[in-house]
Amino acid sequence: MIGECLMTFCILWGTSVWTYENIALNKTAWQLDTLFNYTSAKAVDGRKDSLSIFGSDCVRSQYNYTAEWRVDLGTVVSIHHIFIQYATNNLPWDKNNDHTARFLGFSVYISNTTNKADGILCFRDTKYTRATIPNPINITCPHHGRYVIYYNNRTSLPYPVGYSKDAGNDLCEVEVYGCTSPGYYGENCSISCPQHCKDRRCHIVEGTCFECVDGYKGSTCSKGCLQGYYGENCSIPCPVNCLDGLCDTENGTCHGCLDGSSGPTCNEDCTLPGYYGWNCSTPCPVNCLDGLCDTVNGTCNGCLDGYSGSTCSEGCPQGYYGENCSIPCPVNCLDGLCDTEIGTCHGCLDGSTGPTCNEGCSSPGYYGQNCSIPCPRNCLDGRCHIKKGTCFKCVDGYSGEKCMGKKACPIQGQYGINCSTPCPEQCLEGLCDIVEGTCFECVNGYKGPTCEGNYLIQGETRHKYGLFIQRISISLI
């Protein structure tokens, strides 16, 4: 049962009476193509004693293809229903009343802007005839908005049967009933809308939410989201990289990230270089090249010199060094071994020297490991093979690979370089050492390495050529 009350509207539900205030009264109004002084404000002045378009209580606009009027409620409010009193010229409201044709086809919108397209359509006449269209009319539209917009048009031919060829406002009163505060509903608008209704807006009678804040669902938004969902009506799956698929039910931020992901919604790779794993919180292994590793499993992108393995925790195998232990040790390293980081040899093969054993012996006269062994002393000019130590040539009088053997001069009685020096004349039979020139024996009367000293035997003098002998007492000369 519906009944009118003075300045209010009463709806009877059993024993309860719900009352609402006309919140459009004396609010700012606007219309398209005002005619004379029949301004838009006349439809919200609370006066409808005379329903004549020529009186002072009704609005009039130019009759045209489009008619539009609206009231600004000042703020977003909770609306229950809209009352419209159309002009009748104080004549019976039936199919013979000229205004019925112009009233047909009208629409009512509630919007938060002055554009009806931004709001919701509360009502559009598609079925009334001149004989059946009611006046006044109550349009129930339990919604929230700031503007109530009346609209009619005659823009598409042919017009339905009974419609006028043009449209005009001809409104005597428009009343909007609801709660002045959008966060309340029920009797005298005294009950708060459920806490998790979006913008605290709910059905003005039933208290059910039009929308829920993110993270809640249900008619009164009292239910939280199922695990793995968030947002409007809990309809959005949590981001794919959330740990265990869980996120904040309101804004979708992850409670934690899968390995290798970071950021509020775990949609970023590890942003801090040198970390990996859960929430990118684990430092990369210490021997990773540049400190970088795979953000998921921590395997190194490369290893520091001297290390190998997926996490660079292993030393180089023998004979290798450098990045990822991929470089063979220098070829002249002793036993093929070198420093695993920089490749310097632990020792050099015979005949090599330098940090990487890539140089020959820098000091003439040496050979062997690290060029540390002097060449044999009888090598000509002190030079020998840097690896084997064999002489290239021997000094005169010596032979063999290392010039350790002696050889005879081709001319008997000669010694020295090219055997060009005669042996000392006091050498017995003129023979001497072919290198040093020392006599093997001296002729009688001489002594010393080269038989340079002579002596007398008592009672006899022996001429070196044996020409005479005189016996004398032995005395040294």
Say which DSSP state 303 is in: B
Question: Amino acid identity of 392?
Answer: F
Q: What is the mean pLDDT of residues 116-121?
A: 97
Overall pTM surpassing 0.85 (yes/no) = no
What own/partner pairs with CB < 8 Å and gap ≥ 24 does 334-339 have? 334/369, 339/306
- Pick the more confident residue, 313 or 417: 313
Hey, what long-range contacts does 224-230 have (CB within 8 A, 24 or more apart)?
A: 224/249, 225/249
Indicate whether 120 and 47 sit together in one domain. Answer: yes
Domain-terminating residue out of 394, 421, 445: 394
* 171 and 190 assigned to the same domain: no
Give percent of the chain above pLDDT 70. 91
**Structural domain range at position 168:** 2-179
Q: pLDDT tens across 296-338, in order? A: 888 998 888 888 889 998 888 889 998 888 899 999 999 999 9
Task: Kindly report which listed range (73-87, 89-103, 240-254, 384-398) carries the lowest average pLDDT score.
Answer: 384-398
CA distance to 133, 168, 296, 304, 443, per residue, from 281 (Å): 72, 70, 11, 22, 101
> Do 25 and 152 have their domain in common?
yes
Closest listed residue to residue 58, CA positions, set 105, 80, 90, 27? 90
Distance, CA of 73 to CA of 71 (rounded, Å): 6
Does the pLDDT at position 461 exceed 50? Answer: no
Residues 31 and 102 in one domain: yes
Average pLDDT, the chain: 86
Q: How many independent structural domains does the chain possess?
A: 4
| Residue 194 lies inside a defined structural domain of this protein | yes
At 458, the pLDDT band (50, 70, 90 cuts) reads: very low
Cα within 13 Å of Cα(286), Cβ side: 2
127 in the same domain as 42: yes
Q: Which of 23-27, 217-221, 397-401 has the lowest mean pLDDT?
A: 397-401
For residue 65, give the CATH number of its domain: 2.60.120.260
- Whether residue 468 lies inside any domain: the answer is yes
Distance CA 144, CA 183 (A): 10
Question: Do 138 and 7 share a structural domain?
Answer: yes
Lowest mean pLDDT among 135-149, 284-298, 369-383, 443-457: 443-457
Contacts of 263 (CB under 8 A, 6+ apart): 257, 271
**Is 171 found in the same domain as 188?**
no
More confident residue, 381 or 74: 74
CA separation for the pair 301, 298 (Å, rounded): 9
- The answer, yes or no, to whether residue 423 has pLDDT greater than 90, is yes
Residues 356 and 467 in one domain: no
314 located within any domain: no
DSSP string covering 222-271, please?
-EEPPTTEESGGG-EEPPTTBGGG-B-TTT--BSSB-TTEESTTS-EE--
d(CA 460, CA 363): 60
Check pLDDT > 60 for residue 474: no
What is the Cα–Cα distance from 279 to 101, expressed in whole angstroms?
Answer: 70
Q: How confident is the model at residue 154 (pLDDT cuts 50, 70, 90)?
A: very high
> Residue 212 is encoded by which pair of tokens?
């829920």
31 and 154 in a single domain? The answer is: yes
Instruction: Give yes or no: residues 15 and 110 share one domain.
Output: yes
| Co-location of 16 and 57 in the same domain | yes
Query: How many percent of the chain have pLDDT more than 90?
Result: 51
- The mean pLDDT of 20-49, rounded to a whole number, is 96
Instruction: Identify whether the C-beta of residue 71 lies closer than 8 Å to the C-beta of residue 28.
Output: yes
Q: What is the pLDDT of residue 64?
A: 93
Q: Is residue 304 part of a domain?
A: no
Domain-ending residue, one of 345, 366, 394: 394
164 falls within a domain: yes
Mean pLDDT for the stretch of residues 258-285: 86
Read off the pLDDT of each residue in 241-250 and give the average, rounded to a whole number. Answer: 90
Q: Which of 62-66, 331-335, 340-344 has the highest mean pLDDT?
A: 62-66
Statement to judge: residues 27 and 91 lie in one domain? yes
Q: Is residue 258 part of a domain?
A: no
In a domain, 263, yes or no: no
Q: Write the pLDDT tens digit of every residue in 162-188.
A: 999 999 999 999 999 999 887 999 878
> Residue 229 domain-assigned?
no
Confidence tier at 18 by pLDDT (50, 70, 90): low
